[in-house]
Chain A
C-alpha cells in the first residue's frame, strides 16, 4: 500500500496509568492474581451520568477512550470508525446467558443483549460523534485490532481523511476461569512485574481499550507512522527466520535500521519458541517486552502500538516500567513489533518516527 498512515491522536485505558497524566512519570502497576485489570478513570467527565447508568463496563471503557482519543487528535468527527475486539462486552454476554436461565426465557431485559453485540461500542461512538460514515468491527482473536488497522489503511488509501481506529477487550473472573480450563493461564500465581522470570505453560490475563486517530498526512502533532503491517495465520514454528528479513527488505530496511523491538513475550513456555526466533535476525537489538504491563488478550497488539507511538514521539521509554531492560537506545527512529496470540495469529508491524523519513 502506498498510503502513509500517521497516528495523530491516542488514548488508552489499561492496567497501567495510561489514561491521564505523564506516562513517563507513572509507576509500574502489578498484580499477583494472574489477571491484570484496567485502571478505570472517572467516566463522568466524558459521558453524561444518565447515559452512564445504563452502560456496561466495556461500553464505558470503549466510548471514553474513543472520545479522549479524538480530543487528543484535535481532529473533528472521524471519517470512519473501525474497531477490533476478541470478546466484545463479555459481561453483557454472561449476564444475558444467566438471565435466560434464571427467568426461564420470560420478561427479559433486552439491554445486556443489545450491549453484547460486538458492534455496540462502534454504534455508540457513531451516535456520540454523529458520524454517519463507514463503520466496521472485526472480531477475530489476535487479528481483531490488526484488521481494523488494515481496513483503516485501505480507507486512507481510498481518500478518507482520517479514521478512528481502536480495540477493546475485557476479562471477567468467570471467563478467566473458563479459559483456565484449557490451560491458557499459569497454574502458579506470579507477580506480573516478574512475569519473565517464570517460564511455564500459560501466561497471565489482561484487558484494555486503546484508540488511535489515523491520518494520511503528518503534522507537528504526529506520534508516529505505521510503515508496515504483515499478518501470518498459523505459520510454521521457524517461520520468522525467513519472514522477518523479507518484511524488513520490503520496507527497504536492514536489521541495523531497527532501534527497538517490542516483543509480545509472555512467559508461556508453550509458544516461547516463536519469540526466541527474534534474536537471530536482529542480533543485539534492544527488546522491550510489554505483556507484564497489559497482560495477554486478543487485542494486546493495540497496547503495544500505543507504547511504540509514545516512545517514538517522546524519544524516550517509560523506563520505570522496564526494570528488566538494562539499557535503552539513545535515539529511536524505528520500532519493530512482533506479537502473536497463543501461536495462531502472528503480527509484524513497523513504526517510524513521524516526519523523519521524508514524509
Chain B
C-alpha cells in the first residue's frame, strides 16, 4: 500500500505576517494586509490596493541571512525566509542524513527585479551590476538559490500552472513520496509583486480598486498579494522513524482542467467540482466529514460564480462553512495554494474557521454565503483547499487532522 503523507513543518511570509504564528495572529485579529504599495514602481501606486510584505528588499535580505547580496531577488528572499521557518519547525538539521526534495512554484520568476533592468539588459551601451540579474528572470532561479542555500540534495524542480502552481507542487511532492522516490519533500511557492503581473491582471479588468469582496454580489475583481509558503511533507515511515511532529495529513488531492477558456472557468464550475469531488474521494472522507472549505475565492466575477456552483453541486444543501482568505493576503498567485494549505492546517490544529472579510450581499447566482465570523473552538477535522487558475488549471487539496 502506498505511504500516507504527513505535514511535519510549515513556514510562511505574507502581507499579514513574517511567520506562521504572525499570520495566525493577524487572522485572529481580522487584520487585512491590503493597502497601497511602498515598493512597486507603477502608476497604480495609489489606485490599486495590494497585499505587500511590509519590508523592503534590504530588510528581507537581513531576515533571510544574505545581507548585501543583490543576486537574491525579492522572489528568492521571500522563499528563503519561509523555507528557513519550515526547516526549523520540521527539525531538519542535517539535509544529508535524509535527502529532501524541493518542489517550488513560481509564475514569473524574478520578474520583480528583472523588469527594473530589462531595457538596460537589451541595450548594448548599458553595462553594470544589473547584468547579474540576467539569470533571475526564469522560474528556476529562485528554486536553485533556495536549494543551494539550504543544501537540498533530492529532486529539485519548479512548477508553473498560474494560480494553482503551489497546490500542484504539493501534489507532485506527495506523489513522489507515495511512489517511494523520496521520503521527504518540501513543497510550496514564492511570489513577489511585479508591475508585469499587476498590469496583466489590470488589462484583463480583473483588479478591484477597493479591497476585494469574495462571494459578494458587488465584488469587482481581485487584489494581488505577495509572499511565500512551504510545507514539509514526509512519508509515514520517515515521520515515525524520525519522531517527527505530525501537524496534519495530506489525505487527498486532485488536479483537473476546465478545458473551457484560457482565462475563465466554466460557468457551472465543472473543473472545480471535479477537483473537489475526486480529491475528497481519494481522501476516503465523505462530504459530511468536511467542516471547512478554504475557497479559491478571488472575488473575480467568474471565479466566485463557478466555484460557488461547484460547492452547491458537491454539497447540495449541506455546504459547510467556507471562506476566502484572500482579503487578508491578496492573491499571491504561485504562493497562494501553499499559503492556504497552511491556513487549512491551522484551521484544524486551532479549531478555527477564518472569516471571509468584506462580505455584505449574497450573490444572485448562489444560494450560499461565506462564513463572515471568526469561529473558534470548532471541531475541524477535514478541510478542502481550492486553487484554480488560468489555463483552466484546477487543484484541490484535502487536509485532515492526524488521528494516528
User: A residues near B, CB below 8 A?
Assistant: 1, 81, 86-88, 96-97, 100-101, 104-106, 108-110, 113-114, 116-120, 122-124, 126-127, 129-141, 143-144, 147, 150-151, 154, 157-158, 174, 177-179, 181-182, 231, 233-234, 344
Contact = CB atoms under 8 A, between A and B. Distances in A.
Nearest to B114: A97
A87 B259 CA distance: 23
A139 B390 contact: no
Contacts of B262: 114, 120, 123-124, 127
A122 to B, nearest CB: 6
Nearest to B195: A100
Interface string B138-178: 11100110011000010111111110000010001001100
B199 A105 contact: yes
Contact of A139 (B144, B158, B392): B158
Given A136-B172, A138-B159, A154-B175, A110 B391 contact: no
B315 interface: no
A169 B153 CA distance: 27
A120 B257 contact: no
Contacts of B200: 96, 110, 113-114, 116
Contact of B256 (A106, A133, A233, A234): A133
Contacts of A231: 155
A135 B122 contact: no
Contact of A119 (B42, B162, B179, B258): B162
A147 B182 CA distance: 14
B306 interface: no
**Residue from the set A96, A101, A136 with the largest chain B CB neighbour count within 10 Å:** A136
A108 B195 CA distance: 13
B392 A127 contact: yes
Chain B interface residue count: which class? 35 or more
Contacts, number: 168
Contact of B392 (A101, A116, A123): A123
Contact of B134 (A116, A131, A182): A182
Contact of B204 (A97, A113, A124, A141): A113
A110 B203 contact: yes
Given A105-B42, A108-B203, A231-B155, A119 B134 contact: no
Contacts of A1: 179, 181
28 contacts: A1-B181, A96-B196, A97-B118, A100-B115, A109-B203, A113-B203, A114-B263, A117-B162, A119-B390, A120-B262, A120-B391, A122-B161, A122-B393, A123-B392, A126-B257, A127-B262, A127-B392, A129-B259, A131-B259, A134-B256, A135-B161, A135-B256, A135-B391, A139-B139, A140-B156, A157-B179, A179-B134, A344-B144
Nearest to B123: A177
Nearest to B205: A110
B260 interface: yes
A223 B252 CA distance: 35
B208 interface: no
B131 interface: yes
A1 B179 CA distance: 8
B261 interface: yes
A136 B255 contact: yes
Contacts of B199: 96, 100, 105, 108, 113
Contacts of B263: 114
B270 interface: yes
Contacts of B156: 140, 143, 233
Nearest to A141: B140
Contact of B159 (A96, A139, A178): A139
Contacts of A117: 107, 160, 162, 390-391
Given A1-B179, A119-B161, A134-B257, 16 more contacts: A86-B140, A114-B204, A114-B263, A117-B390, A119-B389, A127-B260, A130-B259, A132-B270, A136-B159, A139-B138, A139-B140, A143-B156, A144-B157, A147-B155, A150-B155, A233-B153
Nearest to B278: A133
B386 to A, nearest CB: 16
A178 to B, nearest CB: 5
Contacts of B43: 104-106
A138 B176 contact: no
Given A117-B162, A119-B391, A231-B155, A132 B204 contact: no
A140 B139 contact: yes
A106 B44 CA distance: 10
B48 to A, nearest CB: 11
A120 B138 CA distance: 16
A110 B106 CA distance: 20
A131 B121 contact: no
A118 to B, nearest CB: 4
Contact of A101 (B119, B124, B271): B119
B186 interface: no
